[in-house]
């Protein structure tokens, strides 16, 4: 199997898991401002209220990223099951999924940063 397929699929798995974890922690209210996990921008780290506002504002984008990641993984799996020899097509599908996921994480950061700036 092509390295692009393996690496991009592994990164999609990691990003999907990260989006789900961040969503769940924020939804439950169990994530306080810290150095380990969370959406870290200068604005979200400015205060506890900015941290909370930024994370709450990022919730829709986080869920979109998680659902998109799951859909990308299913698409890669189905493509592999239907045409395991079509490595170029699989590479394109997995790389496209990765690019979309990265774009969604940029959206998460922008949403959180914008809300945090307005909260300070």
From first to last of the 120 residues of the chain, give the pLDDT tens digit: 688 888 999 999 999 999 999 999 999 988 888 878 899 999 999 999 999 999 999 999 999 999 999 999 999 999 889 888 888 888 888 899 999 999 999 999 999 999 999 986
Q: Which two tokens stand for residue 115?
A: 């809300």
**Nearest Cα residue to 89 out of 101, 105, 102, 78:** 78
**Nearest Cα residue to 111 out of 28, 19, 30, 17:** 19
Per-residue pLDDT at 12 = 93
Q: Does the predicted TM-score (pTM) go above 0.95? A: no
Cα 8 from Cα 64, distance rounded (Å): 19
**Nearest Cα residue to 21 out of 76, 73, 56, 62:** 62
Per-residue pLDDT at 48 = 92
């Amino acid at each position: 199997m092509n390295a692009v397929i393996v690496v991009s699929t592994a990164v999609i798995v990691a990003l999907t898991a990260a989006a789900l974890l961040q969503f769940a922690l924020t939804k439950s209210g169990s994530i306080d401002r810290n150095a380990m996990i969370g959406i870290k921008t200068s604005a979200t780290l400015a205060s506890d209220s900015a941290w909370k506002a930024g994370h709450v504002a990022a919730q829709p984008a986080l869920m979109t990223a998680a659902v998109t990641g799951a859909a990308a993984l299913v698409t890669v799996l189905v493509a592999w099951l239907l045409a395991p020899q079509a490595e170029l097509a699989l590479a394109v599908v997995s790389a496209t999924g990765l690019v979309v996921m990265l774009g969604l994480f940029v959206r998460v950061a922008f949403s959180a940063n914008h809300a945090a700036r307005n909260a300070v």
